[in-house]
Amino acid sequence: MDKPKGKILAINGNMISVEQESSIIQNEVAYVLLGEEKLKAEVIRIKGNVASMQVFESTKGLKVGDTVEFSREMLSVQLGPGLLSQVYDGLQNPLPQLAEKFGFFLPRGVDFSALDENRKWHFYPMLEPYKNKLRKGMPLGYVEEGIFKHYIMVPFDWSGEYELDWIAGEGDYTIRDIVAKIKDSKGTVHELDMVREWPIKIPLSAYKEKYTPEEPLITKVRIIDTFFPVAKGGTYCIPGPFGAGKTVLQHLTSRYAEADIVIIAACGERAGEVVETLREFPEITDPRTGKSLMERTIIICNTSSMPVASREASVYTAATLGEYYRQMGLDVLLLADSTSRWAQAMREVSGRLEEIPGEEAYPAYLESRIAEFYERAGLVELSFGEKGSLTIGGTVSPAGGNFEEPVTQSTLKVVGAFHGLSRERSNARRFPSIDPLDSWSRYKPFIGEDKVKVAQDILFKGNEVDQMMKVVGEEGTSLDDFVVYLKSEFLDNVYLQQNGFDEVDAATDRERQEYVFARISAILKASFRFSRKEQARKSFYELRQLCIDWNYKPFLSPEFKDQEQKIEDFLSEYADWEKESVSRQAEPAAENSGRQTNSKEQETEEKDNEENTQ
């Protein structure tokens, strides 16, 4: 049967208007025929017999009257073994294979298979217990893809129950070999290979139930895990100005977070940053396996120099791949960098469609599109009993660091955690530059919320004292207020900041965070015996350096214990506290914890303290 065709009526950048007589559907793929080239396009609006389409390639050379061929298929991706360690563009073309064949400059109209159809995989059939009650998303068998079992499943869009008619024995097969035959309720037998296709703009929902995310996703970044946690299956955003460290923070998260699969969607970022990612990731050692981090990573690469229409496709492609691996009972982390570039692409397409603009010329449906993307995250129970999660974290690049602009505000309405990066903190080289005063999270931390609340109160009070000192000077503040300020600076320098280039301090696991934060919490609640501000400042500087050195010692090593003893010995000279409050989890703090006492009995020890300071 011949595929339906249409004729181009108008061309506006990468947008074309096509007249057609047959029936077409929204998001259908079509190809513009230009000599030997076939330029891929997508239907984005239909009015009568005229379809508005966005072309994913340069439209140079197109003219009115050129033929457009409709495919009768929606924009989809291939799902199957071999996705891991791949680098794709927004349309799932494998960039390494394209570069190998065509060099650095890729021609138009090239369409490669996303998966290697010649590679053989060792297939293990699964006969029980689903033999007579197969449903969509149930595994028929698996192949080993790296350290994971890659399940070959019943197609995700099939409804009803099926019966296993035949399954291939254990052995080596290509992804196009038939590995199973299943029979539907009408007795029709369907042959299945290892490849599935799925439209990228339709969420993959072949699961039994979706749960509210609660279990923390350990990123091993202290300020995130302790103060602004992310849950498995949750969502979060990282807005910040240029140069604040968004990309570096994402790289650290992708390397150390306790997720099985990492998917990076470089959506409209500068080519230099993308090249840096492509060069670094194969060289990074995965702390879980000791092998290359790329073996459990997929990169969707769509730079700002690529066609604007592909930016939108890239985030949906990444989300679909994440949902696919979630269907196998794995924990997937999707990092989108940056959703602002995606929103700018939507703005450009909307302008060419002559739609009524919203705030700052963004389309009126910007908020709903962003919500649709983040809602694809989630913790789900699968039809075969396992649980899988897809966590989505997106960076936002507001112009000038303005968090009031539409993309940031639309994102904040739907995400579960907000990690706002601060220009002031990045300029002061306080990394990660997440602002502890502006950021928030709706998820519960694994450390007691009462302890975190005490620490946050210290940070807020310390900031108030700092702002006051900028007006009246240090002389205009009391000793008690000054000690509160020193405590907030101590907490910031010792716990909130991390050295991403140190082998030990770059990643802090849950056990160490609980252990260290209990001691930090006890210090924040302690009453110090200071008589002068200079004495307090010098003591806290020494204590800060002792604790920073402690961060560089391997957890529970002899060096770690020795450094901890030095800290306790130092504190015993200046603070009133019980030693066991440092040796165990700190008790829940009272409301007035953190207040300093400066009694007459302490003043009698002034000379001794001055001699110790000297």
pLDDT tens by residue, 479-494: 999 999 999 999 999 9
pLDDT of residue 292: 87
pLDDT of residue 598: 41
Instruction: Report CA-CA distances (Å) from 179 to 175, 184, 185, 186, 543.
Output: 9, 17, 20, 21, 65
**For the segment 329-351, what is each residue's pLDDT rounded down to a tens digit?**
999 999 998 899 899 989 988 99
Give 211's strand partners: 379
The least confident of 116-120, 250-254, 427-431, 600-604 is 600-604
Place of tokens 């000279």: 573
Q: Which residues contact 131 (CB under 8 A, 6 or more apart)?
A: 163, 164
**For the segment 370-407, what is each residue's pLDDT rounded down to a tens digit?**
999 999 999 999 988 899 999 999 999 998 888 999 99
**449-613: which CATH architecture?**
Orthogonal Bundle (1.10)
**What does DSSP assign to residue 418?**
E
Contact 56, 39 (CB under 8 A): yes
pLDDT of residue 215: 95
Contact 52, 37 (CB under 8 A): no
**For the segment 443-459, what is each residue's pLDDT rounded down to a tens digit?**
999 999 999 999 999 99
Read out DSSP for 324-367? HHHTTT-EEEEEEE-HHHHHHHHHHHHHHTTPPB-GGG-BTTHH
Class of domain 83-97+208-441: alpha beta
- CA dist 518 and 514 (Å) reads 6
Query: Which tops the pLDDT comparison, 590 or 73?
Result: 73
**What does DSSP assign to residue 587?**
P
Q: Which CATH number describes the domain made up of 121-194?
A: 2.40.50.100
CA-nearest of 436, 247, 442, 221 to 335 is 247
Task: Report helix, strand and coil shares of the chain as percent, to nearest 5.
Answer: 35, 25, 40
595 pLDDT exceeds 60? no
Rounded to a whole number, what is the largest CA-CA distance in the chain? 100
Q: Average of pLDDT values for 1-20?
A: 90
**For the segment 197-240, what is each residue's pLDDT rounded down to a tens digit?**
999 999 999 999 999 999 999 999 999 999 999 999 999 999 99
Average pLDDT across the chain, whole number:
88
Quick one: pLDDT band at residue 126, thresholds 50, 70, 90?
confident
- CA dist 551 and 545 (Å) reads 10
Q: Which residues contact 317 (CB under 8 A, 6 or more apart)?
A: 77, 88, 90, 91, 92, 200, 265, 300
Task: Classify strands 196-199 and 171-173 as parallel, antiparallel or unpaired.
Answer: unpaired
Q: Please confirm whether the linkage preceding 125 is cis (ω < 30° from 0).
A: no
CA-nearest of 201, 226, 193, 233 to 316 is 201
Quick one: pLDDT band at residue 505, thresholds 50, 70, 90?
very high
- Helix (H/G/I), strand (E/B), else coil: 549: helix
**Residue 137's Cα: distance from chain center in Å?**
25
| Cα three-residue angle 434-437-439, rounded to 5 degrees | 55
1 pLDDT exceeds 70? no
Q: What is the pTM of this model?
A: 0.90
Quick one: pLDDT band at residue 610, thresholds 50, 70, 90?
very low
Burial of 95-115, coded b for 16+ CB within 10 Å and e otherwise, reads: beebeeeeeeeeebeeeebbb
pLDDT of residue 155: 95
- CA dist 203 and 380 (Å) reads 13
Contact 322, 261 (CB under 8 A): yes
Contact 233, 402 (CB under 8 A): no
Cβ neighbour number for residue 542 with a 10 Å cutoff: 13
**What does DSSP assign to residue 306?**
S
Contact 73, 29 (CB under 8 A): yes
**Domain locations in the chain?**
5-75, 83-97+208-441, 121-194, 449-613
360 pLDDT exceeds 70? yes
**For the segment 251-303, what is each residue's pLDDT rounded down to a tens digit?**
889 999 999 999 999 887 777 777 777 788 888 888 888 888 899 999 998 87
Quick one: pLDDT band at residue 22, thresholds 50, 70, 90?
confident
- CA dist 573 and 319 (Å) reads 56
591 pLDDT exceeds 60? no
Q: Average of pLDDT values for 580-607?
A: 39
**5-75: which CATH architecture?**
Beta Barrel (2.40)
Contact 408, 397 (CB under 8 A): no
Written in H, E and C, the secondary structure of 212-224 is CCCCECCCCCHHH
| Cα three-residue angle 354-360-364, rounded to 5 degrees | 55
Place of tokens 């799932």: 92
Write phi, then psi, for 47 (nearest 5 degrees).
Answer: -130, 105
Q: Which residues contact 327 (CB under 8 A, 6 or more apart)?
A: 137, 151, 153, 156, 204, 206, 207, 382, 388
The least confident of 336-350, 427-441, 492-506 is 336-350
**For the segment 548-561, what is each residue's pLDDT rounded down to a tens digit?**
999 999 999 999 99
Contact 146, 202 (CB under 8 A): no
Place of tokens 């603070």: 575
Instruction: Report CA-CA distances (Å) from 37 to 15, 61, 280, 373.
Output: 18, 11, 35, 32
